[in-house]
Amino acid sequence: MAAWYTAFQGTLALHQDGFVAASQETRRVILRTVRDHIVSKNKSEDESVELPKALKMAIRRYYRQFLTDEDDIWAEDEILGDVPEDEPCGLSPEEREAAARPKDAAFYKKEASDWDIAQKLFKQEIDEYDKEEQAKLGVKNEIKYRTGHARNWFKNMTPAQKKEVENAREKWNSEGAPLESQAMYRKRHLKKTLDDFTKQLRRTMGCQVMILTSHKKSADQTLSVVIHESKPLNSKKPFTQSSRGNKDWVSQGFEKFAEWSKSEFYSEENDDESNEEEEDDGKDSLPELILDKSGYPMLPSRVGVATRGQQELVRQIFRASYKVLTNTAKPVPWREVVGNPTLYLDSDSLPDGFILRDPSHMRAENINQLWGHWEARKAAKKKLVIFVAAKLGDMSKERLENAVPYQEKSKKKYVEIQQDTPARPHSATRTEQPARVAASSKGAASTHPTPGTTRPARGNSESESAGAAATGRRASPAESDSSEDELPAAASAASRTRMATRPSSAQLGAPATVPIKDRITFLKSLSSNSEYLLLVEAIRDLGKEPSIIEQTVWPAWATWSWEGSYLPSDLHSVDGEARKFLEMSVSTKISGLASAMQVSLGLGLLLRECKRAIEYEADEATSDTPPYIGSSRLDIGILDLVIEAVSKVRGGAMHLLKARDIQQERHIINKAANGEGHGAQVDSHVPADGGDGEVEREKSRGEAEKHVGKEQKDEKGGEEEEEEEEKVEEKGKKRTKSGGSRKPSKKAKSEVRKSGRTRQPTQKALNL
């Protein structure tokens, strides 16, 4: 085949001079004419010559040796590429490799050899060679001869073919299967492969294994990291959950491995490689970006640079300015910067009314507007772009020491003002001061107490922003009596005054937006953790007990006046802030509903914040998500500490409830057992010279004896209970007989005449 041109030397020589002197368009016509002449002449011959399949490319390569002009030679080399002279088809090596690359991920389980690569790359050539050899032997489609013929062809490869096989082998073994095939194969076989591998190591070598795996996700610049470990044989828990120290170690290792994997999958050389590819494609190269002494970029020239190249220049300018602030090579967090440019950039870095976008999304008019602004700053000898803020995770250790965490400015808090009518002289009245409450005769405390002070026994929820309001279910009997007297006065006062409305500056999901009646429901919505839900259910029964809160420096975000949906950045960036609050929560003495709700609120908000930080995904974050959530210190270790603190606080609340129940039972037993003292106490409430006092004394004694019988009935067996009931019944019969005798005393007659109905027992007797 290599000597085909010797048979058609006359035809080739006839058009040789015309091809050398012609332009590219004319050369195509000449090549087509020469090809047609050679094909027609070859058919007319008795003994035809085997022609190359890419006959036009072979003719062009033949004429190329007669060219003398360097531009013509360069143009022909560009068209011919690296296709060898005896190439049977017109495909380039790159096109052949891309077409022959296997799509099945199972092909890449083992490293491919030259023999494996050659069968994929030159499958058509091997088939043709096999047919020729079988034709010589006089056999057809004999499979037993194919492998031998393929081996012979493989041994006799040309140097160009061997080089092509080596290049494909290195590429396929290093890159593996295509990304789409990897994703599908990983989804189906990753877990099973890891399980089989760990079991195989345990069975064959007796090894326990923990594996960290990472892979790219479909979204740009995102990763997925998975921990896989062997199942324990003797231990109850696996290594990652066996102790708190192991959990912390795994959490830190997880984060470090994720950072390393991100630099491995998304190297910083991608931009440079893409630029080199653009230059190889014939596009204009970008001008070099020159930096001043401070590291800020100087405005380059964009003459002759396409729009795509100008987008890359804008990206490089922003990246160089960001590097000055962070002192690292981290890329610009465009998602956060575009969402809040006034936070990250100096106010003069962008033109007025300019809408900042990712440089890859900028249009020509956007770049022209930005470039004109930069030219004006260059003329005024100012920096092109100045960053004033950065992500905490992007800053170096030296810059992070002097960094100040960003905190949003909160608006002034409004306090509802209510003017109560002075219906009762001893009730606490409210003044017009928004932050303080005047002290009454019963000693009402301020709404903002100083550290070290305690609340009075009558305060039910002073720590709440709504004041000392309490629900009817939480009120004690004495308070319910007083509240009934105050209903008419309160109704008249409400008709004459209006409450100050709360401003709508609080974010959705903030404690300040929750009404008092819905606070228990809000606490339950903060977390689905079972320990925390049990704590919220337990504190509901503390409303009947007066609350005495030991005041400490309680954080503002853990109160019902907090107007933010997210917690402050100190909890996310400063190490030890969360642990300090947990220690404070555990050590706080819970004595009633107010203190219990305050502690439960702080723990619930911290649980919700930990979940947000752990489940944070940059590509799924909303616009209102603070930037410090992505680099938060609230990891799995902090979440375990919060759950442990919830268990301790719940234990204290349950102990308080149990102690209160025991104390009430003892109080009832002691009061009921002391019949005389109780009777004297009851008798003090009625006139001493009337018969009503004697009747009331008899009834109170009967009630006390019933209570005593009930308590003794719980403690003793069934026989003793029946005896006590018989005693009570006998006493009742004796009293009824004495009261209903044929000869009643004058005293008894006066009782019947004076009292037409049975007198009800007092409130204190009912409390027993």
The predicted model scores a pTM of 0.29
Q: Are residues 302 and 219 in the same domain?
A: no
Q: What is the 3-state secondary structure (H, E, C) of 316-340?
A: HHHHHHHHHHHCCCCCCCHHHHHHC
Helix (H) or strand (E) holding 538: helix 530-539
Q: Is residue 36 part of a domain?
A: yes
Q: Could you give the percent of the chain with pLDDT greater than 70? A: 66
Beta pairing partners, 556:
none
Which one of 80, 103, 120 terminates a domain?
Answer: 80
257 and 289 part of one domain:
no
Q: Quick check: is 606 in a domain?
A: yes
Residue 88 three-state SS: coil
Q: 699 or 669: whose pLDDT is higher?
A: 669
Banded pLDDT at 235 (limits 50, 70, 90): confident
pLDDT-wise least confident of 405-409, 613-617, 656-660, 741-745: 741-745
| pLDDT (mean) for 591-607 | 84
Residue range 514-556, pLDDT digits in tens: 888 888 888 888 888 888 888 888 877 676 555 444 455 788 8
Higher pLDDT, 591 or 302: 302
Is 520 found in the same domain as 638?
A: yes
User: Is there a single domain that holds both residue 41 and residue 190?
Assistant: no
Residue 463: pLDDT over 60 = no
What's the domain range around 57? 4-80
**654, 673, 692 — which closes off a domain?**
673
3-state secondary structure of 229: strand
Domain identity same for 289 and 251 = no
In a shared domain, residues 344 and 471: no
Position 427 pLDDT exceeds 50: no
- Report the pLDDT value the prediction gives residue 453, as an integer from 0 to 100: 37
Instruction: Flag the least confident range among 157-171, 283-297, 523-537, 739-753.
Output: 739-753
pLDDT computed for residue 765 by the predictor = 55
Q: What is the per-residue pLDDT for 555? A: 87
472 with 596, same domain: the answer is yes
* Residue 452, pLDDT above cutoff 60: no
In this model, does residue 69 exceed pLDDT 70?
yes
CATH assignment of the domain containing 386: 3.90.1460
Residue 408 lies in a domain: no
Q: According to the model, what pLDDT value does residue 318 have?
A: 92
Clarify whether residues 247 and 286 are in a common domain: no
The H or E element containing residue 587 is helix 577-587
Asked if residue 613 lies in contact with residue 634, where contact means CB atoms within 8 angstroms, the answer is yes
Q: Are 251 and 303 in the same domain?
A: no
**Position 748 in a domain:** no
Q: Would you say residue 8 lies in a domain?
A: yes
**Do residues 195 and 312 share a domain?**
no
Long-range CB contacts (within 8 A, 24+) of 521-527: 523/597, 523/600, 523/601, 523/604, 526/604, 526/605, 526/607, 526/608, 527/604, 527/607, 527/608, 527/611
Q: Are residues 290 and 186 in the same domain?
A: no
Query: Which of 656-661's residues contact partners 24+ apart within 8 Å by CB, and which partners?
Result: 656/542, 656/545, 656/590, 656/591, 657/538, 657/541, 657/542, 660/545
87-122 per-position pLDDT tens digit: 444 567 777 888 888 888 888 888 889 888 888 888
Is residue 639 one of the residues assigned to a domain?
A: yes
Last residue of a domain, one of 673, 703, 723: 673
Count up the domains in the chain and report the number.
Answer: 4
Reported as a single tens digit per residue, the pLDDT across 356-413 is 888 888 888 889 999 999 999 988 888 899 998 888 778 887 777 766 666 555 554 4
Which of 46-55, 157-166, 482-491, 606-615 comes out lowest in average pLDDT?
482-491
Tell me the β-bridge partners of 228. 211
Residues 6+ apart with CB under 8 A from 613: 572, 629, 632, 634, 635
Q: Is the pLDDT of residue 571 over 70?
A: yes
**Has residue 419 been placed in a domain?**
no
The sign of the torsion formed by the CA atoms of 669, 674, 677, 682 equals positive
Task: Identify the residue with better confidence: 687 or 34.
Answer: 34
The pLDDT-based confidence of 451 (bands split at 50, 70, 90) is very low
Q: Do 253 and 304 fall within a single domain?
A: no
Sign of the CA dihedral 751, 752, 758, 759? negative
β partners of residue 700: none
Q: Tell whether 687 is covered by a domain.
A: no
